[in-house]
Amino acid sequence: MKQQIILTPEGYLELESELNELKNVVRPRIIKDLKDARAQGDLSENADYDSARDEQAQVEARIKELEYKLEHSTIAEKGSEGTISIGSFVTILYEDNEEDEYQIVGSLEADPLDNKISNESPIGVAVIGHKKGEIVEVSSPNGSYKVTIKDVK
C-alpha cells in the first residue's frame, strides 16, 4: 500500500522549487564540472572527476525522490473557516498554562524546531477537525493529557 503524501500548498511549492533548482542550475553545473575534469586527462586518479561523479549521483537520486514525492502527493485543502485542518496555525494551551503555536502540516513537512507538527502526531491527530475554545484530549505514548484550543488561523 502506497503511503499518501500530504503537503500544504507552501510545502508543494518548496519541493517544486528545489526540483527546478536541481534540474536547471545544479545538474548543468555538474555536467560542466565533469566535462572540465575529463579535459584534465587521466580519469583514474582525477579527484575532481570522482567528486563531480559523486555529486551527480546524489543530485540525480534527489531529483528522482522529489519527482516521486510531487507525483504522489496531495495538496491539503483548507477546512471550513475556524476548523483545524492541515495548513492551519493553532495556538494551544496546555494544562500547566504553557501556550504554543503550531502549524499542522503533512508528515513530510514536519519540523518541530520550526513549530510545524505532523497531522499524524499525537497533537495533530487530537486537534484536527476541532475549533477555537474546544478542549481536546491528546493521547501520547507517555499518557493522555488535555489541551485547550486558544486560536485557529
In this structure, the strands spanning 89-94 and 99-105 are: antiparallel
Tell me the pLDDT band of 1, cut-offs 50, 70 and 90. very low
Give the domains, in start order, of the chain with CATH numbers.
5-75 (1.10.287.180), 89-152 (3.10.50.30)
Terminal alpha carbon distance of the chain: 33
Residue 140 near residue 124, CB atoms below 8 Å: no
Q: How far apart are CA 81 and CA 73, in angstroms?
A: 24
- Can you give the pLDDT at residue 80? 77
For the chain, what percent of residues have pLDDT higher than 90?
Answer: 79
3 contacts: CB under 8 Å, gap ≥ 6: none
Residue 79 pLDDT more than 90?
no
pLDDT digits (tens, 9 = 90+) for 113-153: 999 999 999 999 999 999 999 999 999 888 999 999 999 99
In this structure, the strands spanning 143-152 and 89-94 are: antiparallel
Residue 78 pLDDT more than 90?
no
pTM of the model: 0.80
CA dihedral 131, 137, 138, 143 (to 10 degrees): 170
pLDDT digits (tens, 9 = 90+) for 34-66: 998 888 877 777 888 889 999 999 999 999 999
C-alpha cell at 55: 555529486
- Can you give the pLDDT at residue 4? 79
